[in-house]
């Protein structure tokens, strides 16, 4: 064997040993232009490492709204009787008539009426509404001071008061009487008049327990509807009789027609029958 052949064999052995003993293979690098070592069995990265999307911030939840309890249904109202109760006060018991005025006191009309009554030297019964008493206590004080009577006409002119539970009727009348006493301490309230005349047999004992008699009427010109003064005058003069209880209004709306009619009616009724205080 020649020396050249021996050298070739040795070179081949060296190359074989260097290739088998190195687990790293060579790849062409894109940036440097030379071989770049890469781990065997692991693919080379092809781009930037992906990042996970940020989780949304939790929004604060508002507290649940409290659930309001459903109110109980209002109690059913009693039916109105077909006839008015028998023990209502509808006359004076004497020849003279009584004048009664409802739904006040009113700062627009009650002072005018009081002036007319004072000029005629007669007294009347004022059926007052609790809310009006609270608003205008000075007028209640004047009514009492000038010798007139008071009558409880409910707190808010409740037309259905007599149909309500007895406890509600009593509370309403007591509240109205307390407002009257606050306006005119010591004033007597001998009567109660049901708004609209919608009486029931149940409310009369309640009023009596509170020291009040039920006061109705026998002459109603329906002046609450604001007819012309001559209409009011005619309705009263054609229906009035001795001992009548006359109903008119000094509150609850525009009472200009009533005031105009009273300028004739008050002296005329006094001349015909006399005007008395209810007993």
DSSP letters, 205-221, are: HHHHHTT-EEB--SB--
173-206: b (≥16 Cβ within 10 Å) or e: bebbbebbeebbeebebebbbbbeebbbebbbeb
Write down the catalytic residue from 153, 157, 216, 249: 249
CA proximity to 152, closest of 187, 113, 122:
187
Q: Where are the beta strands (DSSP E) in the chain?
A: 25-28, 35-38, 98-104, 125-128, 149-152, 191-192, 213-214, 245-249
Write down the catalytic residue from 102, 158, 223, 250: 102
Q: Is 250 a catalytic residue?
A: no
Q: Is 223 a catalytic residue?
A: no
By CB atoms closer than 10 A (0-12, 13-18, 19+), residue 79 is exposed
* Positions marked active-site: 102, 249
């Amino acid at each position: 064997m020649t020396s050249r052949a021996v050298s070739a064999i040795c070179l081949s052995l060296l190359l074989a040993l260097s290739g088998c003993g190195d687990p790293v293979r060579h790849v062409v690098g894109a940036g440097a232009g030379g071989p770049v070592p890469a781990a065997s069995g692991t693919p080379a990265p092809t781009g930037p490492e992906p990042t996970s999307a940020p989780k949304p911030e939790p929004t604060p939840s508002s507290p649940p709204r409290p659930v309001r309890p459903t109110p109980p249904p209002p109690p059913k109202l009693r039916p109105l009787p077909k006839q008015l109760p028998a023990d209502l006060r509808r006359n004076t018991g004497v020849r003279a008539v009584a004048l009664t005025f409802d739904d006040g006191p009113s700062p627009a009309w009650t002072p005018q009426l009081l002036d007319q009554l004072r000029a005629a030297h007669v007294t009347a019964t004022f059926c007052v509404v609790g809310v009006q008493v609270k608003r205008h206590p000075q007028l209640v004080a004047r009514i009492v001071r000038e010798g007139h009577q008071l009558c409880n006409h409910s707190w808010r002119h409740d037309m259905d008061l007599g149909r309500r539970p007895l406890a509600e009727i009593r509370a309403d009348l007591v509240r109205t009487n307390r407002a009257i006493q606050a306006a005119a301490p010591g004033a007597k309230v001998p009567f109660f008049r049901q708004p609209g005349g919608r009486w029931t047999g149940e409310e009369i004992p309640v009023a009596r327990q509170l020291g009040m008699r039920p006061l109705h009427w026998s002459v109603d010109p329906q002046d609450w509807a604001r007819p012309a003064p001559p209409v009011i005058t005619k309705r009263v003069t054609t229906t009035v009789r001795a001992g009548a209880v006359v109903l008119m209004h000094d509150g609850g709306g525009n009472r200009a027609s009533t005031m105009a009619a009273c300028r004739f009616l008050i002296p005329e009724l006094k001349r015909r029958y006399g005007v008395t205080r209810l007993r």
